Amino acid sequence: MLSPHGKRCLLTAILFLGMQSFWTHLAQLCADEPVISIETPLPAPGWALLERELLRQNSEACREFFAKYFDERGWLLCVERWGGDDGPDDAIENCLDWPVVHALGGSDNVLCLYKKAWEGHLRQYTLAKTVDVPFARDGMYFKEFPVMMDWLHNGEGLVVFNLQGLSDPLDPAFAQRVQRFAGFYLNEDPGALNYDVQHKIIPSMFNGSRGPLMRKATGLDWAGDPIEIENRFHPKHGETQYAQMLEHFKDYTETLGDHPQNLKATTLALNAFMLTHQEKYRRWLLEYVDAWRERMLANGNIIPTNIGRDGKIGSDAGGKWWGGVYGWGFTVFDPATKKMAHRNQHHAGFPGFMNAFFLTGDDRYLDPWRKQIETVNANRKTVDGQFVYPHMYGEQGWYDFTPQKFSESAWELAYLSMKPADLAQVSSRPWIGYLNGQNPDYPEQALRRDLARIGKQVRAIREDATTPDTRLADDPMVLNPASVESLIELMLGGLHSGRSGSALFCRLRYFDPDLRRAGLPEDVGALIDELTADRVSVTLVNISQLEPRNVIIQAGGYAEHRFSAVKMGDKSMPLDGTRLTVKLAPGTGTRLTFTMRRYSETPTMAFPWHTKL
């Protein structure tokens, strides 16, 4: 029951906030939110100071990068082209990791800049048109999405958009696009029927807002319109003339039928489900991944790289399960190096299986990939007294033998499963060594490494003498200063999302309840030093000696896990929710150990104050 004073405050809140904001705040007030207060003094650790400095310098460096390579509209200052070498996807990929910088606690300016770049590049590449490539003559983007391209590139073009929900899920334009983009693959747009419901396939490697490309691709489709190169551009694949671009892609023709990389499209449905909780998105995602899982099992635990338009393994690649562009047997001539290059992209399908595991916590989405690694490595042979392992498969059987074991997706698999046998396969990774107690200096080493990288990148930005008319869309990409891998590991206990347009997979995430934004509050550091299947330990510290700080800890990037207890020192407290509020007095800190059930909850983009816990 509210006191008279409380009633007056409540009425004031209604008048001041308006009814919509009032109900949001009331839901928060009524939630039985667990809170703990920290009064234990803790001198500011070196790692905490480094984390705060790394966030600050990431924010400043991103601002400098934007000022040089984007204009006031958010357009990238370059020559716009379509193609697999440089294209619309590269324009926004220049802002790789900027959403994570903000979601960790970086400056709000970073959020403003990457949203401006996203909006700007949508307009820029909607207006940009090809002359010779037929399907992009009316614009490289249609309905704010690539007209039709493979998901190696579509995924790269979504690295910013697919993570915007970490910081700004209530943006109306974002909500519309999330559902529109997912709708392209649920056949909700009659002009983009990308999904064959009968055979449960995406029937072409090239697909997008104008639907699938139902013919073989050409070198022109991949390379884009003719362009002057010599004495003007320096393409990243090493070509010195346009003829080499065409030669690079001359064998990239077998694109009909489904390929594992199309599974990256499931992240669109995952985002739509987390935003709206409409069951149709979850249902489609699991249906499509289940179909691929069944094909994998039917093919001896090896994922096929072509599913024909009739739904049969390999039928659009001459009956070869290993066939097609980016297939197990895709070895082509590289005109830049004058050598044969192995370009097997079967592992591009694993993000789809990750998404299915994210929604279900069911190991059956991981086990086929575990068995695939075992199956491939079982075909090892001995050369000069040493084991060598295959990485490709073709007419001649297994080939491309190297001393390195086949281990595609082993790291992501181990992170998700947290099974000792899987983790043993990746035990050489420095972060895993740190979590196993082998390198206590790793946090500061990793943070200093990323700080040094920012310095190196900014120096190169300032020395870059290219002009917009001598710059391709992917030229600035190598200078992108955002450096967050150490922060994702140490603060979140998470996986770097990479360039595939994936969601964020992590164990913990933080919110600032006072500023109502994502990320750690100012002056707060977080260091995870233990990670098991059902437990995570994190040290929180407030380095400010003057001001208290409040932080909300969330179980997972999207509240997909659930806390069952928290331990501080020799005291334990039961929990039964996805979030905990910690109040840190000035100059204090503590180590918290959470027990949790992973992937047990319906994931959501909602912030703590958007919904009841």
Contact status, residue 523 vs residue 587, Cβ threshold 8 Å: no
Report the SS3 class of residue 517. strand
Any idea of the CA torsion for 6, 12, 17, 19, to the nearest 10 degrees? Answer: 80
Classify strands 579-584 and 35-38 as parallel, antiparallel or unpaired. parallel
Average pLDDT of the segment spanning 330-355: 96
| DSSP letter assigned to residue 310 | T
Sorted by where each begins, the domain ranges of the chain are 1-30
Q: What is the pLDDT of residues 164-192, one digit of tens each?
A: 999 999 999 999 999 999 999 999 999 99
pLDDT confidence tier of residue 32, bands split at 50, 70 and 90 = low
Is the pLDDT score of 26 beyond 60? no
Q: What is the pLDDT of residue 44?
A: 97
Q: What is the pLDDT of residues 508-521, one digit of tens each?
A: 999 999 999 999 99
Q: What percent of the chain has pLDDT over 90?
A: 92
Find, among 140, 385, 345, 183, the residue nearest to 280 by Cα: 183
Largest CA distance in the chain: 87
Structure tokens at 613: 């816990």
Cα–Cα distance, 123 to 560 (Å, whole number): 34
Q: What is the pLDDT of residue 336?
A: 85
**What is the number of other CB atoms lying within 10 angstroms of the CB of residue 210?**
22
pLDDT confidence tier of residue 33, bands split at 50, 70 and 90 = confident
Is the pLDDT score of 613 beyond 90? no
180 sits in which H/E element: helix 172-183
Q: What is the pLDDT of residues 380-396, one digit of tens each?
A: 999 999 999 999 999 99
Is the pLDDT score of 21 beyond 60? no
Q: What is the pLDDT of residue 279?
A: 98
Q: What is the pLDDT of residue 289?
A: 98
| DSSP letter assigned to residue 16 | H
Cα–Cα distance, 225 to 81 (Å, whole number): 8
Is the pLDDT score of 7 beyond 50? no
Mean pLDDT of the chain: 94
Q: What is the pLDDT of residue 238?
A: 84
Report the SS3 class of residue 28. helix
Cα–Cα distance, 112 to 410 (Å, whole number): 36
Find, among 490, 496, 506, 495, the residue nearest to 598 by Cα: 506
Report the SS3 class of residue 449. helix
Is the pLDDT score of 12 beyond 60? no
Q: What percent of the chain has pLDDT over 70?
A: 94
Strand runs labelled E in 443-548: 508-512, 517-518, 524-531, 535-542
Residue labelled with tokens 């196993």: 436
Q: What is the pLDDT of residue 8?
A: 38
Question: Model-level pTM?
Answer: 0.94
Report the SS3 class of residue 567. strand
Q: What is the pLDDT of residue 362?
A: 98
Is the pLDDT score of 31 beyond 60? no
Q: What is the pLDDT of residue 20?
A: 36
Is the pLDDT score of 530 beyond 70? yes
User: Which ranges of 31-142 would DSSP assign to H, the alpha helix?
Assistant: 46-69, 88-93, 98-104, 108-127
Average pLDDT of the segment spanning 455-477: 97
List residues bridging with 588 in a β-sheet.
41
Q: What is the pLDDT of residue 611?
A: 64
Burial letters for 90-109: b for 16+ Cβ neighbours within 10 Å, e otherwise? bbbbbbbbbbbbbbbbbbee
